[in-house]
């Protein structure tokens, strides 16, 4: 799998993919896991954190593309591709698809527990939260691979490169 654009110092860790900062991309999944226990505004705030992470990563990859091609031909196109590819990939793989997946998993588990158990509502809500949190590490790689396939089959055909595709070991 292709690696994301690197800065001129290839050994330098990527702030958004190689450090604790990448965990900010998980904020909305955590928020969805706690949806049954916290006010909706808290859940929406976690989407704000994840979206800020996605936007910052895209801007960072655009900056790295600009530095890698200071005066070369196609500089503007390289920057645009880096920003768009990173933003779309991260928006789908880090925010939209996992947020929806955890939301539906939690809603379904809360509903089913209400139908098949006699557990008190607070126990069902905490169990739903635990199920959501436990599912986060399980859904990451399949979603990443699916988004890679989706973008490789669509958007990336328009700009004819996979050079900016995030390496799944370096995302989120």
Segment 2-46, tens digit of pLDDT: 334 333 445 688 888 888 888 899 899 999 999 999 999 999 999
Whether residue 1 is predicted with pLDDT greater than 80 in this model: the reply is: no
The share of the chain scoring above pLDDT 70, in percent, equals: 87
- Is 118 a member of any domain? yes
Q: Is the dihedral of CA 38, 89, 1, 68 positive or negative?
A: negative
- Is 35 a member of any domain? yes
Tally of domains in the chain:
1
Domain region containing 42: 20-170
pLDDT of residue 166: 55
pTM of the predicted model as reported, rounded to 2 decimal places = 0.83
């Amino acid at each position: 799998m292709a690696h994301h654009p690197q800065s001129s110092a290839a050994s330098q860790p990527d702030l958004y993919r190689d450090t604790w900062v990448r965990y900010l991309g998980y904020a909305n999944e955590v928020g969805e896991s706690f949806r049954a226990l916290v006010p909706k505004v808290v859940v929406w705030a976690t989407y704000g954190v994840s979206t800020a992470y996605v936007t910052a990563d895209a801007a960072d990859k655009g900056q790295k593309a600009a530095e890698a091609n200071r005066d070369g031909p196609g500089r503007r196109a390289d920057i645009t591709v880096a920003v768009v590819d990173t933003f779309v990939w991260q928006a789908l793989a880090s925010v939209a698809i996992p947020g929806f997946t955890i939301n539906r998993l939690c809603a379904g588990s809360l509903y089913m527990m209400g139908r098949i158990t006699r557990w008190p509502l607070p126990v069902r809500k905490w169990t739903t939260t635990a199920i959501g949190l436990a599912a986060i590490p399980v859904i990451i790689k399949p979603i990443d691979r699916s988004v890679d396939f989706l973008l490789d089959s669509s958007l990336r055909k328009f700009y004819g490169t996979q050079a900016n595709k995030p390496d799944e070991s370096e995302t989120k």
